[in-house]
Amino acid sequence: MINAQELVLVLMVLLLLVVLMVAIWNTQRGYTSRAVGAELDQMDEAVFERYLALLFTRMGYQVRRINYADNVSTLVATGHGLSYVIQAQRNRHKVGIKAIKDVIATRKHLKCERAIVVTNHFFSNQARQMAKANQVITLDRHDLIKELARIKSSSAFVNNGDSLE
């Protein structure tokens, strides 16, 4: 028969094991997030755009790249009954309201129902407010890291030879 002291000791050991397993799981998850973030930062603009095109393709959209307004490259994704103009902002600084204004104008010109601005960084508060007021979807670094980690099980996602055309 186990006495009360032995039972307390067993419960403490089990609790310690659970805490240790949770700590290891959180460490691994944080490492993955940092590794994926570093991968985003190493992409040049062309690879970042290609990553976005493949990401939306895997979400079931047909994606095409168009040159619009002074050779600025823009993605248009169609599917699920909607069309989206997607502007990729690969930056080292927060994305400001200019990017939101640009995608709003592009959405109107291309007659798309929705607009998305995606960045490997973050948005300023003003940009987020303007985006919200104009129904522009904003995807920041955290959103991309979650999505890239989710599909990371696929081999050679960015450099697998897929084409945008």
> How far separated are the first and last CA of the chain, in Å rounded?
73
12-53 tens-digit pLDDT? 666 666 665 555 555 545 444 455 556 677 778 888 888 888
Please tell me the distance from the alpha carbon of residue 137 to that of residue 153, in angstroms, as a whole number: 26
* d(C-alpha 47, C-alpha 138), whole Å: 20
pLDDT tens string 11-23? 666 666 666 555 5
Is it the case that residue 134 has pLDDT exceeding 80?
yes
Identify the residue whose tokens are 């290609």: 50
